[in-house]
C-alpha cells in the first residue's frame, strides 16, 4: 500500500488538483492508496474540500482537522505516526498546492520491487505555475538508479515532496518541529545517512508549484532574519553533527550537500532580499558564520559545486578570510579560469546577448543594436574589444554606457562598467559570430553565433525603451 501524507493549510485554490493527482494515478487508488488529508486549522474552504472528497472515498481518504495551527513539521510527524501502524507501507508526502504525475505510484512500486535493498527513493521535480521547467537538481537522474552516498557524494537530495519511504526507513524519519525552513532537507538526509543510499525513479515527476506572487514558504523565508542566522546552526550545523555522530566525520556527501545549498545565499536574485532584510552588521555576522561552516568543507568539494565562478570565488574568499580569485590561463583562442589545477570556466562557453535596437534619435548610437557581455567569469577591461564576424568580414562594437556591478553578501565581485556595447549590423549579414579580444593575454576568443531571424524576432517583440531595459536586467540575471 502507498500512504500519502498531505498537510493542508489555506490552499482551497489548488487543493482539488493536488487530491485529483493522487486519485487519478495509473495504480488503482481504491485498491492501493490511502490519503491522509491533515487540515492545519485552515480558515478558508480547505477543510470542506477535504471532507467532500472523503465522502466520495470513505475507505481511502482520512481527514484530520486541527483546531489550532500546528505547523507543517508537526502535521507531517502526526501523519508518520499513523503510517507506522499500517504494516507494509510506502509513505509519500505531497504539499496541497503541488501535484503528482499520473504514473508516479506505478513506477515507484516497480522500482522498489526491483530494488529490495533500497528503502527510500525519489522522483524528478518539475516546476509549474509561474514557470515551467525541470528542477536543476534533476541532473542526478540521467545516469544512475541508485545513489551510494560514499561513491556518488555529489548527488544531494533536499526535498520531502516526491520522496517515498518504506516502513523500515520510516522509523528513522522525523521532522524538527522547531525549524521554520529546511526541515525537510534535514529530516530526509538523516534517513539517507542511516541508509547510505537512495533510489532515483526517472521519467516521472513531482510537480512543484511556483507562485507568481512568490508567496510560498520557500520564497517568504528569504525575507525573514531567521533564514540567515539561526538557520545556519539548525540546518547546516545539525546535518553536519548527524554525520559526525553516525559516520564519525563530516562525510563528503554532507559537505557537498551544504556547499551546494549555500550557493543560494550568493545568487544574484537573493542579494536584494539580503540587503532589505539584514543590516550591514548582520551581513558581516552572516559572513562570519558562513566562514565557520565553510572551514569544515574541503576546498576540493567547493570546487565541484556546479554554479557560477563568482559564487565559487565568494565561497573560497569567505572560507579563507581574504579575496580569492581564479587564475586566468590564456591559450590560442581561449581563456581558462583555473583554481588549484581545477578548470572552473572557459571564456568560449560564455555568450554575448544581442537584445534590442537603440531608438534614441539624438544619440550617436541611434539605429545600432545594443549588446551586453555580463559574463560572470570576467569583467571586461577598458582596452578589451568586442567584435562580430561574418564570412571573414569583421565589425568592432563601440562601448555603450553601463554602470552594472555584482555584489555577493555585501562584497563587490565584478564591475561591468565596460560590458555593454553598441554595434551596427549590416543589412546583408545573415548570421554573425561574436568574439572578444582580451588585451591582457593578447588573445581573441570566439563566442556565440546568432542568426538574422533571431535578432529580427527581438526587434519585433521589444517595442518600448522600458521593455528593453527590463530585458537587459533579465539578461544580466541569467548570465
Report pLDDT for 374. 86
Q: How many CB atoms lie within 10 A of CB 133?
A: 10
Cell of 67: 483546531
Output the CA–CA distances (angstroms, integers) from residue 270 to 181, 233, 262, 323, 378, in the order listed: 16, 20, 12, 21, 21
- Closest C-alpha to 167, from 7, 37, 3: 3
> What DSSP designation does 308 have?
-
* Residue located via cell numbers 525575507: 223
Report pLDDT for 359. 86
CA–CA distance, 111 with 263 (Å, rounded to integer): 32
Q: How many CB atoms lie within 10 A of CB 188?
A: 23
CA–CA distance, 386 with 368 (Å, rounded to integer): 14
Q: Average pLDDT per run of 10 along the chain, which is 479 residues long?
A: 96 96 96 96 96 97 96 95 88 96 96 96 92 87 94 95 91 90 93 96 94 62 82 91 95 98 92 92 94 97 96 97 96 95 96 88 91 91 96 94 90 92 92 96 95 83 50 41
CA–CA distance, 333 with 262 (Å, rounded to integer): 34
Chain center to CA of 413: 21
CA–CA distance, 142 with 135 (Å, rounded to integer): 13
> What DSSP designation does 326 have?
P
Amino acid at each position: 500500500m502507498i500512504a500519502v501524507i498531505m498537510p493542508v493549510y489555506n490552499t482551497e485554490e489548488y487543493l482539488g488538483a493536488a487530491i485529483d493527482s493522487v486519485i487519478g494515478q495509473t495504480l488503482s487508488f481504491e485498491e492501493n492508496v490511502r490519503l491522509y488529508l491533515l487540515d492545519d486549522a485552515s480558515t478558508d474552504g480547505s477543510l470542506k474540500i477535504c471532507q467532500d472528497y472523503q465522502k466520495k472515498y470513505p475507505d481511502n481518504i482520512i481527514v484530520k482537522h486541527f483546531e489550532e495551527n500546528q505547523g507543517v513539521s508537526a502535521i507531517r510527524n502526526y501523519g508518520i505516526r499513523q503510517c507506522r501502524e499500517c504494516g507494509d507501507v510506502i509513505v509519500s508526502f505531497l504539499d496541497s498546492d503541488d501535484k503528482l504525475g499520473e504514473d508516479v505510484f506505478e513506477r515507484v512500486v516497480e522500482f522498489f520491487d526491483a530494488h529490495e535493498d533500497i528503502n527510500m527513493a525519489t522522483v524528478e521535480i518539475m516546476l509549474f505555475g509561474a514557470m515551467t521547467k525541470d528542477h536543476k537538481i534533476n541532473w542526478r537522474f540521467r545516469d544512475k538508479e541508485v545513489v551510494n552516498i560514499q561513491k556518488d557524494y555529489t548527488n544531494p537530495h533536499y526535498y520531502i515532496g516526491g520522496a517515498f519511504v518504506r516502513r523500515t526507513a520510516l522509523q528513522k524519519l522525523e521532522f524538527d518541529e522547531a525549524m521554520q525552513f529546511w526541515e525537510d532537507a534535514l529530516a530526509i538526509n538523516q534517513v539517507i545517512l542511516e541508509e547510505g543510499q537512495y533510489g532515483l525513479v526517472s521519467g516521472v515527476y513531482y510537480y512543484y508549484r511556483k507562485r507568481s506572487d512568490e508567496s510560498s514558504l520557500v520564497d517568504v523565508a528569504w525575507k525573514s532574519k531567521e533564514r540567515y542566522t539561526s538557520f545556519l546552526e539548525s540546518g547546516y550545523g545539525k546535518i553536519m553533527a548527524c554525520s559526525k555522530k553516525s559516520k564519525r566525520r563530516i562525510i563528503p556527501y554532507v559537505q557537498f550537500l551544504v556547499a551546494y545549498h549555500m550557493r543560494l545565499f550568493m545568487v544574484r536574485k537573493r542579494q536584494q532580499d539580503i540587503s532589505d532584510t539584514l543590516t550591514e552588521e548582520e551581513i558581516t555576522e552572516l559572513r562570519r558564520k558562513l566562514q565557520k561552516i565553510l572551514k569544515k568543507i574541503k576546498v576540493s568539494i567547493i570546487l565541484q559545486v556546479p554554479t557560477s565562478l563568482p559564487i565559487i570565488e565568494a565561497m573560497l574568499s569567505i572560507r579563507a578570510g581574504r579575496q580569492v580569485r581564479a587564475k586566468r590561463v590564456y591559450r590560442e583562442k581561449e581563456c581558462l579560469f583555473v583554481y588549484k589545477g581545477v578548470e572552473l570556466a572557459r571564456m568560449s562557453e560564455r555568450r554575448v546577448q544581442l537584445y534590442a535596437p537603440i531608438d534614441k534619435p539624438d544619440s550617436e548610437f541611434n539605429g545600432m543594436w545594443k549588446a551586453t557581455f555580463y559574463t560572470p567569469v570576467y569583467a571586461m577591461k577598458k582596452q578589451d574589444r568586442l567584435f562580430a564576424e561574418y564570412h571573414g568580414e569583421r565589425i568592432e562594437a563601440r562601448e555603450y554606457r553601463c554602470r552594472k556591478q555584482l555584489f555577493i553578501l555585501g562584497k563587490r565581485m565584478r564591475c561591468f562598467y565596460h560590458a555593454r556595447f553598441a554595434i551596427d549590423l549590416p543589412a546583408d549579414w545573415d548570421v554573425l559570430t561574436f568574439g572578444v579580444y582580451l588585451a591582457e593575454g593578447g588573445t581573441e576568443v570566439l563566442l556565440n553565433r546568432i542568426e538574422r531571424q533571431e535578432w529580427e524576432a527581438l526587434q519585433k517583440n521589444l517595442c518600448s525603451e522600458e521593455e528593453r531595459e527590463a530585458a537587459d536586467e533579465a539578461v544580466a540575471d541569467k548570465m
